Chain A
Amino acid sequence: MLNNITMGQYYPVDSTVHRLDPRMKLILTIIFIVAVFMSHSFVGYILLLGFLFFACKMSKVPFKLLLKGLRPLRMIIILTFLLNLFFTSGEDLWVSFWIVRIYREGFMQAVFYSLRLIFLVAGTSLLTLTTSPVALSDGIEMLMSPLKKIHFPAHELAMMMTIALRFIPTLLEETDKIMKAQTARGADFESGNLLVRAKAMVPLLVPLFVSAFRRAGDLAMAMESRCYHGGEGRTRLRVLKTTRNDWIALGIVTLLLALIILEGIYLKGVLF
């Protein structure tokens, strides 16, 4: 049912990118996102695309898989493209019939905005494809741990993420079971308009919620019985270590950002 979402689906191979410190990968992703937003020209987008190709190659993740992650967002991307195409005005009119006016500026903006979305999703997918969710939540916990001083619940958040990840397959299985059970009783989840189908979800969601709460109660008890008492005095099985590769990767991504900023300052408008 929800099996084809690549986002959050770890692709387990061994590669340089997989071995990077999750903290570093998070930082790299943030820098990459900044770079995507700083980029306003073709040169910038070519640089970003080149970087994505390179990162994808290094991570041994099939490019197809990265593209698959875009599929759930295709409507948003298409909508972004069309809205920008039709509703941006400019000087250089390309097409004009009836009430539709397409300007060169509109077309460029449509291309850039859709590319920006694609790059954002592809970049973050690459993070989740190469970082196991557990490593990711470890990384988030460690990155946020300085905030513990102002009572930010970094450990609790990471624990919640881990547990959520742990229970996604379990709850999916359960959803499937309840769906079958309700279908056997004559429930119909497939036909009717949106409202009818949304209403049909109630007999699915209620038992699912009840069971999720029961599971939560059980799990809390099991955790307590295994001496869980919050993040204090806790050690970790996984200890995060930065290696030389982490710093090289940081160098590469920083260089990418620098190039895009410089290009924006010095070459802006030279090509387009």
Chain B
Amino acid sequence: MQMHTDAQILMQDVSFTYDESASPALSHISAKIRQGEFVAVLGHNGSGKSTLAKLINALYIPGEGNVVVCGYDTKNEKLVWEIRRRAGMIFQNPDNQIVATVVKEDVAFGLENLGVPTEEMIPRIEQALSAVRMSKYADSAPHTLSGGQKQRVAIAGILAMEPSVIIADEATAMLDPSGRKEVLETIQMLNRSKGITVLWITHFMEEAALADRVLVVTDGKIQLEGTPAQVFDQVREMKEMHLDVPPMAALADDLRKEGMPLPGGILTVEDMVREVEKVLCPLKSAT
């Protein structure tokens, strides 16, 4: 049974409580994610953002409410594999999600599980590895790769299954800055060129700033929602949730308080330079 909605991921009044815990990890969450969107979920450790990711992959089933992914309700046990092949998930620890001892065999793992015939597997693996620019490591052992490369292999493993959604559960949290950049760029590229919906769960503001839309999760609830510019302009609300905003957004907020008429939506140094120039030398910026 497939429901027809315009949303690729639909969460309706979802609550989830862990068995061993008294208070719910998520309470009454409703969200709608359209196809091709790049949505960042921002929140602290323990805010419930990882739980949110696992609900979408049907690893957890909501206690209340419904999660509908690509038209399939995660509550229906028969649809679990249909959901998981469409909504691939990358986890935080690059070491703990690679199964095989050779890169290309790890990429094959999902396909093997789906029962894809061998002849069909080989081109799909090659495509997936070239999409994440890891083709030349096809025969390498995973433990010889860097963290960023391992995450790209994990992405390839999901990509080979031809998903419509990729959920990255703090996929960059354990990487060094260059690894973080390479993984994020890979995901952005897949989002743009293949139209894969991305749910990017993170606690890095800079990463969330690159998304089409940001959901801020605190204490199991979506507290703020909007474009990065809209969300990060609410400096006071963010600070109340003990979340940082990008440095330029914070600076813009301070300047505004001091009376400088800056517009909203300043997230980068370039934005700041442009807007400050407009204010201080209106003639120069006009020419």
Q: Which A residues form the contact surface with B (CB < 8 A)?
A: 132-134, 162-163, 165-166, 169-170, 173, 214-215, 218-219, 221-229, 233-239
Contacts and interface: CB of A to CB of B under 8 A. Distances in A.
Given A225-B89, A227-B84, 16 more contacts: A134-B101, A162-B100, A165-B101, A166-B99, A169-B143, A170-B143, A218-B91, A218-B93, A222-B89, A226-B99, A226-B158, A228-B109, A233-B115, A234-B113, A235-B117, A236-B112
Contact of A221 (B59, B111, B114): B59
Nearest to A225: B89
A215 B108 CA distance: 21
Q: What is the interface residue range for chain B against chain A?
A: 35 or more
Give the interface SS of chain A, mostly helix, strand, loop or mixed: helix
B111 A235 contact: yes
Nearest to A237: B108
Contacts of B99: 162-163, 166, 219, 222-223, 226
A226 B156 CA distance: 12
B213 interface: no
Contact of B95 (A162, A215, A227, A234): A215
Contacts of B108: 237
Interface of B: 54, 57, 59, 81, 84-85, 88-89, 91, 93, 95-102, 104-105, 108-118, 121-122, 125, 141-143, 157-158, 161
Nearest to B119: A239
Contact of B141 (A169, A219, A223): A169
B59 A166 contact: no
A221 B91 contact: yes
14 contacts: A134-B100, A134-B101, A162-B100, A166-B100, A166-B142, A219-B97, A222-B89, A222-B91, A226-B84, A226-B113, A227-B81, A229-B113, A234-B112, A235-B115
A12 to B, nearest CB: 9
A15 to B, nearest CB: 17
